[in-house]
Amino acid sequence: MRHLARRLGWSVFVVWAVVSITFAVNDLLPGDPARMMAGAQASPADVARIRSRMGLDEPLAARYGRFWKKLVHLGPSVIDRKTSPAHATCAVVVPLGGSSIHLDFGKSFQRQQAVVDLVGDRLPRTAALALAGMLVQLLVGLGTGILAAARRGSWLDRALVGTSLLGISAPTFLIALCLQFVFARRLGWLPLDGFGSTLADHARCIVLPAFTLGVYGAAYYTRLVRDEMLVLLKQDWVRTARAKGASTARLLLAHGLRNALVPIVTAIGLDVGALLGGAVVTETVFRWPGLGDLSVHAMLDRDGPVILACVVVTSVGIVLANVVVDALYTRLDPRVRSS
Amino acid sequence: MRSIRTRAEPLPAWAWALLATVACSQSVPAPMPAAAADAPPRRGGELHLASFADIRNGLDPVVSPDGLSAGPMHLIFAGLVDYDAEERIVPDLAERWEVADAGRTYRFFLRRGVTMQDGAELTADDVKRSAERALHPTTPDANASTFDDLVGFAAYAAGKADHLEGVVAEDRYVVAFHLAKPDATFPYLMTLPTLRPTCRTAGDRYSDTWLPCGAGPFLLRPGDWKRGVTLRLVRHDAYFRAGLPYLDAVEWSYNMTQLAQRVRFERGELDIVRDLTFADASRFVADPRWSSLGVVEADVRVYGEAMNTRVRPFDDVEIRRAVAAAIDRTQYVLMQPMTTTAMDQALPGVVAGVDASFPHQRYDLAAALEHMRKAGYPYDPATGEGGWPEPIEYLAYDPGLPALTSQILQQDLARIGLRLHIKLVSFAAFLAIQQREGGATMSQGNWTLDYPDPSNVFDTLFASSAIDPSGSLNTAFYSNPALDALLARARVEIDPAARMEMYRQADAIVCDDAPWAFTFGYHAFDLRQPYVRGFVPNAMRPLDATRVWIARPAPGARAPEGAP
């Protein structure tokens, strides 16, 4: 328990540090968010007025303090944005009877929208894509890795290892374009891009981006699982289990895979964080309106509130994923628990 | 008066050769079937468009329109005046206007019975309320200062007055705009989205949550704008021009890659495509079935190389003249021949009255070398000796056209002894550096005309008043009292012919002083399916769907393949 509390404490520190560094860097970089909002052709007088409206004429320390003060605060349980301008950019995250905990990232400079709404729209889409991509890489990677290990030295093993090398080497955009060309343009089985408007549409639209996202991970997991399994299957206890009559399937799945899971879980922990940050190329090519697309545009437009919101969400996702991975270690390997 | 309006010129022979080469490498499918060419306009159908980018700011007319929001904004919000197919100003919501008080008052007489999209009738009070909403100090309006000649603007913008004195609803259908001094460009300013009448649902003050609502031919329903994905406008049935629009709806898809746009266009899922790659556009245009379906607008953006006249070596006019003469503009146009036109003067083709015969900044290598000699830095191309001794930093942004054209410039200037060190930065950083005094020695300049009047180029880019130490639109920091005086006189000159003559003189001054070396103009190139009818290119009203109709063949009818 104390270990978990310490990990959570460090996680809070990491998020604070990452967001603070982002805040400072975003301010130090050349480029004026007010100019970007007003447009390249706006007059200096209009830019100055918009800068003042955005609060950018205040000192950095004042804006930094206000950001943290507003980020998580107590407020009314029900928010009426039209009558309550102080909470016009808030979202209720934890109801507490008469009041509630609010989350407030401010208003997007470019889009003039509450950033919590933007992130609230985009995060589930990115999470769905990340989950689908993770499923692809797990199912394909584990399956082919086990198969390659079971048929070590065979043509199948060589084919799978060779293919995985291609999967690791090929750039994401190339995989995306190939999948689009074959499955959307030539065969017409799946949509070329987009997000869809119904659940069935979403399901069809997510297939190609999920495979694009999953190819690299699947290829990596194939090699990882194969190598781990090959090492494990040479162990004495495996020979003993075989001598006791355990079937090959039981050896591979119950003994080999269980022990190979520790490095795989580590990789998954890192991948989840990266995927939550937004698969920029995949989202762009497939027009999947997620966090990656949002954060790239925010960076180009110097839209500070959106950049900070994306960084908060991503960093929280990464540290939480790592806390979960740590917890899983102790379940998978009793030696970790005892140490 | 003889019209000397210039459209984008036909492609030269080398460009056709290039097109043919590219075109042979891959075929394009046949156009979608269409009804006979003489089929009359008919109601119904939808127009599907796409873009690789997304609307940045919003659809409220008071926020700065970007390249993508301008089209939908024009369809939702009608103005008192608008552009016709030749980009001339014509009455729209106003049936006419008059100029009084020697150019200090513009009085608009509204059409009666114009129904807004909320069902209310448009009145002069709506025009005044919309103007006050747009110019209120709490509104994030990036164009507010454009209207600073209105009487009472300063007090209103400073929050010292409750109402804008210069806008007066004289009766239910008459509204007057009073200016502190005559301004010949005021009708042009009224074509901007900023002061277009909004529905009463907009209220008196700007709000982020307002659903855009105006008096235009199409309206936005709640939930029909999925930001970053699609925007759908449906027909405003009570639009004041009887029978228009023909279409049931117009739908834009955003953030769509160029490849996806091409595939969808080939399938007929997109009806007009603007974002084809050069290679794809070339293939279509080279195919006789498609060649008549390309639509070219007038040049609406001017590009040039801005030289900071306060920084060495460009504080020397001879060096600037050398640069202007050393640039081979035909090389620039090679980068994107479908959308660019070589330009050697300040005014792009959309401006009526451009004098193409005037000797502007022409490519002449010998003259460029002579200018270098006069500047005291002679250069011998044979030996490579001489020229400016230090490398010159050239600022451009990436991604974008300047990242490509900067390399052409580098090669051109090397021939006269000017060595460029290219510095590529993000667009945000580019603006921050370029617009700061002393920030950039030389940089890529471009300007998209807000309205097709020479003042929009000269007053903004080359007048001394446009210099600002931290956010200068005059990126050459160029100052010429003679030019300033000329521009001030032209601004208040009401007689069009006399005014245009002044701008010709201004053009001559700027071309000779060369704060910019003008390079090319930019225009949109659209490709339409043959069943899209009534689509007229208009640089000031991009992708205008007001008079577009869909002419698909009747069921069972034999399709005239490839017939436009």
Distance in angstroms (rounded) separating the CA atoms of residues B309 and B321: 12
Distance in angstroms (rounded) separating the CA atoms of residues B432 and A34: 11
First-residue to last-residue Cα distance in chain B: 34
Residue type, B242: A
CB contact under 8 A, A112 and B66: no
Side-chain-facing half-sphere of A40: CA atoms under 13 Å: 20
Give A192's strand partners. none
User: Among B257, B437, B451, which would you mutate to test the A interface (most chain A Cβ atoms within 10 Å of its Cβ)?
Assistant: B257
Chain A residues touching residue B64 (CB < 8 angstroms): 37-39, 42
Indicate the helix (H) or strand (E) that contains B133.
helix B124-135
Chain A residues touching residue B426 (CB < 8 angstroms): 31, 300
Chain A residues touching residue B472 (CB < 8 angstroms): 44
Minimal CA separation from B97 to chain A, in Å = 28
pLDDT at B5: 41
**The two structure tokens encoding residue B362:** 């022409």
Q: Which residue of A has its CA nearest to B226?
A: A289
pLDDT at B20: 53
Of the candidates A31, A285, A287, the beta carbon closest to that of B426 is on A31
Global ipTM: 0.84
B52 φ/ψ angles, rounded to the nearest 5 degrees: -80, -10
Chain A residues touching residue B137 (CB < 8 angstroms): 49
Q: In B, residues 412-441, which contact A (CB 8 Å cutoff)?
A: 425-429, 431-433, 435
**The two structure tokens encoding residue A324:** 């979960």
In this complex, is the C-beta atom of B260 within 8 Å of any C-beta atom belonging to chain A? Answer: yes
Judged by DSSP in three states, B510 sits in: helix
CB contact under 8 A, B143 and A42: yes
Distance in angstroms (rounded) separating the CA atoms of residues B135 and A83: 23
Which CA distances in Å does B228 have to A121, A212, A302, B50, B300?
11, 21, 17, 11, 26
Of the candidates B145, B425, B448, the beta carbon closest to that of A43 is on B145
Chain A residues touching residue B228 (CB < 8 angstroms): 289, 293-294
**The two structure tokens encoding residue B269:** 């899922």
pLDDT in tens, B97-155: 999 998 899 999 999 999 999 999 999 999 999 999 999 998 888 889 999 999 999 99
| Residue among B301, B418, B315 nearest B349 (CA) | B301
Contact predicate A307/A108, CB 8 Å: no
Chain A residues touching residue B470 (CB < 8 angstroms): 44
Residue A177 above 70 pLDDT? yes
**The two structure tokens encoding residue B198:** 């909004």
Distance in angstroms (rounded) separating the CA atoms of residues B425 and A215: 33
Chain A residues touching residue B255 (CB < 8 angstroms): 284, 287, 289, 293
pLDDT at B557: 54
CB contact under 8 A, B144 and A184: no
Q: Would you tell me how many other CB atoms lie within 10 Å of the CB of residue B535?
A: 20
Chain A residues touching residue B260 (CB < 8 angstroms): 180, 192-193, 287
CB contact under 8 A, A32 and B426: no
Name the one residue in this structure whose structure tokens are 């007003």: A38
pLDDT in tens, B67-84: 889 999 999 999 999 998
pLDDT in tens, B382-415: 999 999 999 999 999 988 788 889 999 999 999 9
Distance in angstroms (rounded) separating the CA atoms of residues A164 and A251: 24
Q: Any idea what DSSP says for residue A183?
A: I
Q: Which residue of B has its CA nearest to A195?
A: B229
Concatenate the DSSP letters of all residues of B469-501 into one string: TTT-S-TT----HHHHHHHHHHHH---HHHHHH
Q: How many helices (H) and strands (E) does chain B have?
A: 15, 23
CB contact under 8 A, A39 and B142: yes
**The two structure tokens encoding residue B99:** 């100029």
Minimal CA separation from A228 to chain B, in Å = 40
Strand ranges of the sheet holding A99-104, from the earlier edge strand across to the other edge: A72-76, A99-104, A90-96
Positions in chain B whose pLDDT score sits under 70:
1-26, 356, 359, 555-564
| Residue among B7, B27, B8, B67 nearest B336 (CA) | B8
pLDDT confidence band for A250 (50 / 70 / 90): confident
What is the pLDDT averaged over residues A150-160? Answer: 87
In this complex, is the C-beta atom of B208 within 8 Å of any C-beta atom belonging to chain A? Answer: yes
SS3 of chain B: helix, strand, coil, percent, to 5: 30, 20, 50
Concatenate the DSSP letters of all residues of A301-325 into one string: HT-HHHHHHHHHHHHHHHHHHHHHH
Of the candidates B64, B259, B260, the beta carbon closest to that of A42 is on B64
Minimal CA separation from B223 to chain A, in Å = 12
DSSP-derived pairing of the beta strands B218-226 and A90-96: unpaired
User: Among B259, B269, B434, which would you mutate to test the A interface (most chain A Cβ atoms within 10 Å of its Cβ)?
Assistant: B259
SS3 of chain A: helix, strand, coil, percent, to 5: 75, 5, 20
Minimal CA separation from A34 to chain B, in Å = 10
| Residue among B491, B513, B512 nearest B502 (CA) | B491
In this complex, is the C-beta atom of B154 within 8 Å of any C-beta atom belonging to chain A? Answer: no
In this complex, is the C-beta atom of B58 within 8 Å of any C-beta atom belonging to chain A? Answer: yes
Q: H helices within chain A, ranges in order?
A: 2-28, 33-38, 44-53, 60-71, 115-150, 155-169, 172-179, 199-232, 236-243, 248-250, 258-276, 280-285, 291-301, 304-332, 334-338
| Residue among A169, A149, A174 nearest A160 (CA) | A149
pLDDT in tens, B207-241: 888 999 999 999 999 999 988 889 999 999 999 99
| Residue among B425, B426, B314, B322 nearest B378 (CA) | B322
Distance in angstroms (rounded) separating the CA atoms of residues A147 and A156: 8
Of the candidates B260, B429, B471, the beta carbon closest to that of A30 is on B429
Residue A191 above 60 pLDDT? yes
Q: Any idea what DSSP says for residue B536?
A: -
pLDDT at A182: 92
A133 φ/ψ angles, rounded to the nearest 5 degrees: -65, -40
**The two structure tokens encoding residue B21:** 């080469």
A49 φ/ψ angles, rounded to the nearest 5 degrees: -65, -40
| Residue among B182, B165, B166 nearest B99 (CA) | B182
Distance in angstroms (rounded) separating the CA atoms of residues B330 and A22: 44
**The two structure tokens encoding residue B356:** 């193409």
Q: Would you tell me how many other CB atoms lie within 10 Å of the CB of residue B249?
A: 18
Note the pTM of the prediction, 2 decimals.
Answer: 0.86
pLDDT in tens, A21-80: 998 988 888 888 888 888 888 889 899 988 988 888 889 999 999 999 988 888 888 887
Chain B residues touching residue A291 (CB < 8 angstroms): none
| Angle between helix B365-374 and B317-326 (nearest 10) | 170
pLDDT in tens, B166-188: 999 999 999 999 999 998 899 99
Q: H helices within B327-426, ranges in order?
A: 329-335, 365-374, 401-414
Q: Which residue of B has its CA nearest to A29?
A: B429
pLDDT at A277: 62
Contact predicate B83/B90, CB 8 Å: yes
Residue A15 above 60 pLDDT? yes
CB contact under 8 A, A35 and B435: yes
Q: H helices within A29-154, ranges in order?
A: 33-38, 44-53, 60-71, 115-150
Of the candidates B209, B227, B432, the beta carbon closest to that of A32 is on B432
What is the pLDDT averaged over residues A156-181? Answer: 89
In this complex, is the C-beta atom of B464 within 8 Å of any C-beta atom belonging to chain A? Answer: no
Q: Which residue of A has its CA nearest to B257?
A: A285
Distance in angstroms (rounded) separating the CA atoms of residues A322 and A269: 6
Q: Which residue of A has its CA nearest to B60?
A: A112
pLDDT at A259: 76
| Residue among B369, B389, B370, B391 nearest B381 (CA) | B369
User: Among B62, B143, B451, which would you mutate to test the A interface (most chain A Cβ atoms within 10 Å of its Cβ)?
Assistant: B143
Distance in angstroms (rounded) separating the CA atoms of residues A209 and A282: 6
Residue A254 above 90 pLDDT? no
CB contact under 8 A, B140 and A40: no
